[in-house]
Amino acid sequence: MRSLRKIAVLGGGSFGTALANMIAENGYNVVLWMRSHESVLECSSTHENIKYLPGLSLDLKLAFSSDLEASLKDADVVFFSVPSKAFRLLAREARKYISSDARVISTAKGIEAGTFKLMSQVLEEELPQARVGVISGPNLALEIAAKQITATVVASNDPQVSYDIQQLLGSYYFRVYANTDRFGVELAGALKNIYAIAAGISSSMKMGQNTVSVLVTRSLAEMSRFSASLGANPMTFMGLSGVGDLFVTCTSPLSRNYQIGIALGSGLSVDEAVKKVGHVAEGINTTLMIKKEAEKLQIYMPLVNALYETMFNGRPVDEVLKTMMLAEQNIDVEFTGK
């Protein structure tokens, strides 16, 4: 595995930085690419990403660059850790610099607006020569940076890609499990952002633990129902990328989408909530896209519909909750047979 000569992480946000630092600590030659040259200079001089991971001393072996070509030159593994709205453009820019045998891994948990493409599908379109995979799971960057015990899932149609990423990232505090259902793993990572917003709203309104329990379990039912309708394996949602990621984003104040929900529950508008949180929250746009797709495919998604009404039509949360309670009472656990 040490034959991997160079690793590139594209994106200097909290997760990209934590990921690159972990790889450096594992002894690999890794460069963290940032679009801002000023950020590169700051991180190089302080060995700290003050904006996204303040207080964390980054490994001295971690290199920083704003030169995309130099960052990707001879890279055996490339991680794309940028928001979904910037994903395709960056992949297109990177195409001429990425080698034909490179492992290209998405860490983004979102869906492309206008195309309903997942990020691995964007990579396949823009980088047809690459060997594509995704990582997803309950992976809060601040906790990874603090070396708290964490696990993730790597999913790829190429078993060698999954094996290589397991070896590259694995450590005494970070475990990497494999899954062949790349579509399900990636879709779960995008969908849970919707329900994290709903959980934040419920927390802000001081709803009881019974309510939170209902919200999380019915969210899981909606996620798996929607994804299975599109071809994902519903059992994927019983793992780290499904129930694991859903749980952490629906309960942790470190989750951006949860914080958006907190702000919405306090009476702020969507725009005001985004401004207050100050970072990209994928769940807002994902809610718009999933509602549209669910209606087109006639998939029953009462929680998505309720959140949409609250965020974009200004309906009071209490009123929406009452509507939800009048929704159809269906079976508790789907996909279990008769």
- For every one of its 338 residues, what pLDDT tens digit does the chain have, with 9 covering 90 and above? 447 789 999 999 999 999 999 999 999 999 999 999 999 999 999 999 999 999 999 999 999 999 999 999 999 999 999 999 999 999 999 999 999 889 999 999 999 999 999 999 999 999 998 999 999 999 999 999 999 999 999 999 999 999 999 999 999 999 999 999 999 999 999 999 999 999 999 888 888 888 888 889 989 999 999 999 999 999 999 999 999 999 999 999 999 999 999 999 888 989 999 999 887 788 999 999 999 999 999 998 989 998 999 899 988 876 666 665 566 667 777 776 54
Question: How far apart are alpha carbons 195 and 246 in whole angstroms?
Answer: 8
Domain with CATH 1.10.1040.10 in the chain: 184-325
What superfamily would CATH give domain 184-325?
N-(1-d-carboxylethyl)-l-norvaline Dehydrogenase; domain 2 (1.10.1040.10)
Q: Annotated catalytic, 6?
A: no
Q: Which CATH architecture has domain 7-180?
A: 3-Layer(aba) Sandwich (3.40)
Specify whether the CB–CB gap between 270 and 264 falls below 8 A. Answer: yes
Look at the chain and count its residues.
338
Instruction: Look up the pTM and report it.
Output: 0.92
Specify whether the CB–CB gap between 284 and 308 falls below 8 A. Answer: no
Question: How far apart are alpha carbons 52 and 82 in whole angstroms?
Answer: 13
CB atoms within 10 A of CB 219: 23
* Main-chain dihedrals φ then ψ at residue 32, nearest 5 degrees: -100, 115
Question: What is the three-state SS of the chain?
Answer: CCCCCCEEEECCCHHHHHHHHHHHHCCCCEEEECCCHHHHHHHHHHCCCCCCCCCCCCCCCCEEECCHHHHHCCCCEEEECCCHHHHHHHHHHHHHHCCCCCEEEECCCCECCCCCCEHHHHHHHHCCCCEEEEEECCCCHHHHHCCCCEEEEEEECCHHHHHHHHHHHCCCCEEEEEECCHHHHHHHHHHHHHHHHHHHHHHHCCCCHHHHHHHHHHHHHHHHHHHHHCCCCHHHHHCHHHHHHHHHHHHCCCCHHHHHHHHHHCCCCHHHHHHHHCCCCCHHHHHHHHHHHHHHHCCCCHHHHHHHHHHHCCCCHHHHHHHHHCCCCCCCCCCCCC
**Structure tokens that stand for 239 in this block:** 């793992």
Question: What pLDDT score does 338 carry?
Answer: 47
In this structure, the strands spanning 7-10 and 63-65 are unpaired
Domain with CATH 3.40.50.720 in the chain: 7-180
In this structure, the strands spanning 103-106 and 77-80 are parallel
Q: Per-residue pLDDT tens for 121-179?
A: 999 999 998 999 999 999 999 999 999 999 999 999 999 999 999 999 999 999 999 99
- Which one is catalytic: 192, 276, 292, 322? 192
What lies within 8 Å, CB to CB, of 18 at 6+ separation is: 53, 141, 142, 144, 145
